[in-house]
Amino acid sequence: MRASDPQAQDKIKMLKLDGITKRFGDLTAVNRLRIEVSAGEIIVLLGPTGAGKTTTLRIAAGLENPDEGKVILDGRDVTKLPPSYRDVAMIFEAHNLYPIYNVYDNIAFPLRAPGRKLPEKEIKERISKVATDLHISHLLDREMTTLSGGEIQRAALARTLVRTPRIYLMDEPLSNLDLKLREELRVEFRELHKRYGATMLYVTHDFVSAVSIGDRIGILDRGKLHQVGTPDELHQDPHTVTVAALMESPPMNLLPCQVAGGSMLVDQEAGIIFPLSQGQGAKVREKAGDGEIVLGVWPEDIRIGIPESERAFQGLIVGKEFQGANTLMNLSVGKSILKTLTDPDFPGGFGKLCRFYFPLEKVYLFHKKSGERIYF
Amino acid sequence: MAAVHVKNLKKFYGSVKAVDGIDLEIEDQEFVVLLGPSGCGKTTTLRCIAGLESPTSGEIFFDSRRVNTLEPADRNIAMVFQFFALYPHLNAIDNISFPLRAQGTPPKKIGEKIAWISGLLGLEAILKRKVQTLPGGDQQKVALARAIVRDPVVLLLDEPLSQLDEKFRDEMRTELGRLQRSLHVTTIYVTHDQREAMALADKIVLMKDGKILQAGSPREIYGDPQSVFAGYFIGSPGMNFAKCVWEGDRLLFQGGINELKLSDKLATLLSQKGKRNLLIGIRPEHISFSAMQRESVCTLKIKVATVEKFSQFKIFSFHLGEQLFMGRVREEVPEGAEGYVYFLPDRLRFFDAETERSIF
Amino acid sequence: MLFVWPSLIVLLFLIGYPFIMLIFYSFFRFSFLRPAAGLNFIGVENYQFLLTDKYTWDRFIFTGKFVIMAVVLQFFVGVGSAYLLQEKFRGRGVILTLVLMPMMLCPIVVGLFWKYMFNTQWGIINYLLKILFNVKPIEWLANEHNSIYAAVIADTWMWAPFMTLLSLAAFTAIPRYLYEAASVDRASAWFKFRHITLPLSAPILVLALLFRLIDSIKQFDLIYTLTAGGPGDATQTISFTLYKIAFQYFYTGQGSALAMILLITIICLSTFLIMYMTRLIEKQRK
């Protein structure tokens, strides 16, 4: 257990991936990745399938060698060291439990490995503690084949947590579980983390898991790390359009846009027009050049059901998804679909017109080709 | 287009009762979702309707035609599988056109249908590609196209989105809804993901242990769960529950450690029901938090355990007795803070502690 | 790493040394029987001779015919029987065991009893042919045209089960839901086989083919007891020729050269097949 000394926490970078690049033939799986995980922190790498998350994790563990860059664990350069010499624990997406052993022996396995062997008494203590935390004490002498999916996942987690490495590397450990089970385990995960104070690099494509588990999130897409920050930071200030598209569910609405007539922010098809000040217009034109830009707005920044007396844009309701605590509305605006969340009882059915509005302050602009944010 | 009637369907595998007496009335063009945890019998039910399994007992009708003895090929159904199930070495076009070719449709008509379906699902770009080279989401779209192109009377889907990335899943959910509405085909969809059920279904059939627990529209089941399981399973996070004892004027939790006073109206109603051992249920969005005590009834002093911060809302948890409750609010809630939670009295639900059925 | 040394040394001795000596001798005119005649270095003369000698080439061609016929027949019988044995049915276990038994016999034994079965006058094959189809007795082993068929039949009987085994393993690895989807689509059994079973089991089938190919080229024991290369040299495969050169005539040098030629041939064939198999696997990995 790494006890969290508040000052030390700021200073100890437990894991540093410095300029990691990995290529498989023509494909650059990871591209000059640089990220630091402080002691006691959970960093989540969020990205779609094929973004390079698993490859990054494997490089950190020592299962792959990077073509460029260094892996620094607690101050030591371990880039050339094989996995067994690094002090890490890894949990794989397909759990790695042995069907021939029962649950207890599976969890004990890493503690009995030569080179790290612990006395049986201590093994027993550690296992009973972890088993209690994960609610599997009653399963310890069962055979692996008799367990349900959720139980297997907990056993796999227990096997990882029973060791006390410098850092835990987690590859989507919850992805194979039913939705409900995943929700339960997410909360338990967070509580566990607070109790153990462990340092973790966690990888997933599920945004909800990322936000609930991670202290900070790194957005990874096609091998490039777009931004690292707390969920709030990523939400308030996304640096690229990829970040905006991967955060949140539903993600940021993105509309094609142009600057026209000297100083207006326009989405022609949709009829969305914002007047820009001289300074703003100049900045936007300068950054965008003649290229097209993308207008982004978060679903929750869109107000709908604006009364006739106020200024509003118009859209057609083409989708309404009941989500229990709220409803997801799809509005057809010009060529795009805007998504927004409303109260479950919002009136207005398919095909009805809907008046909505969002102010200029809530607008984010991105460069269409590069995806970079345009500040104005 | 057909209505589907299932009467007292049972399917046993030896001593395991996968499906234990299911009655389903599915109207023509209705979108029905069989929802439940792994092993509840939903997939088995679907496969019986498809004809891939034969029921141990019970009857299945399409409109008034009894189909129990018919092969899947003769039921004029179409099915989309969890793992896509595409012909591996054919490209997208050949996969989609296969059922038409098998039926002997003339090539011109095949061409028309392919054009129609690829326009509908946005497949033009990938038609010539070998399906094994496509990403999961596109493969599933091809599988969907293949199913729809045959104009089946019933469309069956077995957890079609479970193998896809979250992003894709969200998109496909919207697509599917839009698609079904424009196709007017009776659809039976199996999933364990209640968000899909809520978003897509005209009617949700909640299953557990081979039996139907509750059937109704998403709003009905969400707003009026008849059982603890229904309240827990639907909603993200689900309904909070805690064991308590009704002492005539207040609820006691865990032998008196916490107590909750109810409004007079609620107290009267509860006393009328005459039960003592209860489970109280309240959805997270009906719990609010404040540092100071604001109300006199339906409120408890608690300490915040964890907080999950999403941009549109925050989910905070606190312990009530042995249970971990989750609340959903818009404002910030500091982790570890002490304060008061307020349960909206109109939204409190009570369940019998033994039967776990709703009292009100 | 230290564990490996003892085995490595044994391996080196048992395989490495003879192999190096083989290459060595192939450049000499030398005979084990007459070591006194000495080692006469003749460079590549052995190779030249073998590669230009009509007799040797005839043996190669015959071996090629034999191998192709045998392997193709084994392939069809093997894949076909695996197809039939896919589904579980009562007695499947027993039938499977029976089907696999021929493989477990000794090739020498197999050659011997097929020799009896193929006997023109009182062999059981001719007997059955007579009473079932009223066919006049066929001269199997004494006839230079028919003896190849006898060899192919015996070899197939023994080794088709190998194809069956590997095909069965490949078929059972294919997920059922692919077939189910095809059923719903009203696919015929042949369509399912051609578009699902074959493409997905192709890598393993090619691997099995590779094994059988190599084995058939090396086929010796069976031929030795079945026909002894006869009648005359009608069924003399190239391995049999090698045996004669090396252990009947004791032309050690020439025999070594032939062995090398055989080795290189097999290596080339295998490489080709392995590349094909790798490409198949890669296509599937995507």
Quote the tokens at residue C139.
Answer: 């001269």
Residues in B closer than 8 angstroms to A298, CB to CB, are 311
Task: Work out the mean pLDDT of chain C and round it to a whole number.
Answer: 86
Q: Which of A281-285, A362-366, B184-188, C96-100 has the lowest mean pLDDT?
A: A281-285
CA-nearest residue of chain B to C196?
Answer: B87
C contacts of B67 (beta carbons < 8 Å): none
Chain C touched by B89 (CB under 8 Å) = yes
Is the pLDDT at A226 greater than 70? The verdict is yes
Regarding predicted confidence, which is higher, A5 or A190?
A190
Tell me the DSSP string of A13-36: EEEEEEEEEEEETTEEEEEEEEEE
Contact predicate A46/A207, CB 8 Å: yes
Whose structure tokens read 């002093």?
A: B301
pLDDT (tens digit per residue) in C27-84: 888 887 777 777 777 778 888 888 888 888 888 899 999 999 999 999 999 999 999 8
CB atoms within 10 A of CB A83: 13
Predicted confidence at residue B226, as pLDDT, reads 92
Give residue A94's pLDDT band: very low, low, confident or very high (50, 70, 90). Answer: low
* Chain C residue whose CA is closest to B149: C185
Residue B131 has φ and ψ, to the nearest 5°, of -65, -25
Consecutive H or E run containing B307: strand B299-309
ipTM: 0.79
At C270, which amino acid appears?
S
Name the more confident of B139 and C229.
B139
Q: Using N-to-C axis directions, what is the helix angle for C198-218 and C147-172, rounded to 10°?
A: 140
Query: What single DSSP character describes residue C136?
Result: P
Asked whether A193 and A42 are in contact (CB, 8 A), the reply is: yes
Kindly state the tokens that stand for A313.
């844009």
Q: What does the pLDDT average to over C265-280?
A: 87
The mean of the pLDDT values for chain A is: 83
The minimal CB distance from B102 to the residues C185, C200, C283 is found for C185
Q: What is the pLDDT of residues C178-218, one digit of tens each?
A: 888 888 887 888 888 888 898 889 889 988 998 898 888 88
A10 pLDDT more than 60 = no
B52, B103, B153, B162: best to mutate for the C interface, most C CBs within 10 A: B52
Strand runs labelled E in chain C:
28-29, 40-41
Which of A142-156, B98-112, B218-232, C6-20 is predicted with the least confidence, judged by mean pLDDT? A142-156
What pLDDT, on the 0 to 100 scale, is given for residue A11? 59
What is the DSSP secondary-structure string of A115-160? TS---HHHHHHHHHHHHHHTT-GGGTTSBGGG--HHHHHHHHHHHH
CA A179 to chain B, closest CA, distance in angstroms equals: 6
Nearest by CB to residue C184, choosing from B79, B82, B88, is B79
Residue A179 with chain B: CB contacts under 8 Å: 192-195, 236
Confidence tier at A290 by pLDDT (50, 70, 90) = low
Sign of the CA dihedral with A75 first, then A76, A79, and A82 last = negative
* B132 vs C contacts (CB less than 8 Å): 283-284, 286
Burial of C3 (0-12, 13-18, 19+ CB in 10 A): exposed
Cβ-based contacts of B309 with chain A (< 8 Å): 211, 231-232
The predicted pLDDT at position C71 comes to 93
Q: What is the mean pLDDT of residues C95-123?
A: 88
Contact B73 C178 (CB under 8 A): no
Number of H helices, E strands in chain A: 10, 21
pLDDT tens over chain B, length 360 residues: 789 999 999 999 888 888 999 999 999 999 999 999 888 889 999 999 999 999 999 999 998 889 988 888 888 899 999 888 888 888 899 999 988 888 778 889 888 989 988 888 888 888 888 888 888 888 898 999 999 888 889 999 999 988 887 778 888 888 888 888 788 889 999 998 888 899 899 999 999 999 999 999 999 999 899 999 999 999 888 899 988 888 877 888 876 677 888 888 888 888 888 778 888 899 999 999 988 888 888 888 888 888 888 877 888 988 887 788 999 998 888 888 898 999 988 888 888 888 888 887
Cα–chain center distance at C251: 26
Compare all CA atoms of chain B with the CA of C202 and give the residue at the minimum distance.
Answer: B89
Q: What is the pTM of this model?
A: 0.79
Q: Is C103 helix (H, G, I), strand (E, B) or coil?
A: helix
Instruction: Tell me how close the Cα of B304 comes to any Cα of chain A, in angstroms.
Output: 12
Hey, what are C160's tokens? Answer: 């088709």
* pLDDT of the residue at A273: 83
Mean pLDDT of A237-265: 83
Compute the average pLDDT of residues A22-44.
88
The Cα A107–Cα B62 span in angstroms is: 51
Pairing of strands A224-229, A216-221: antiparallel
Examine the pLDDT at A227 and tell me if it is beyond 90.
yes
pLDDT for A43 beyond 60: yes
The helix (H) or strand (E) run that includes residue A303 is strand A303-304
Q: Is B283 on the interface with A (CB under 8 A)?
A: yes
- Measured between CA atoms, the residue of chain A closest to residue B163 is A176
In chain C, residues with a C-beta closer than 8 Å to the C-beta of B129 are: none
pLDDT at A116: 66
Would you call C186 and B82 a contact, using CB atoms and an 8 Å cutoff?
no
Q: What value does the mean pLDDT take over residues A32-38? A: 90
Distance CA A227, CA A340 (A): 25
Is A43 in contact with A200 (CB distance < 8 Å)?
yes
Residue C1 predicted with pLDDT over 70: no
- Subunits next to A (3 or more Cβ pairs <8 Å) are B
Token pair, residue C108, equals 């020498």
- The answer to whether B and C touch (≥3 CB pairs < 8 Å) is yes
Model confidence at C224: pLDDT above 60:
yes
Query: Does A touch B (3+ CB pairs < 8 Å)?
Result: yes
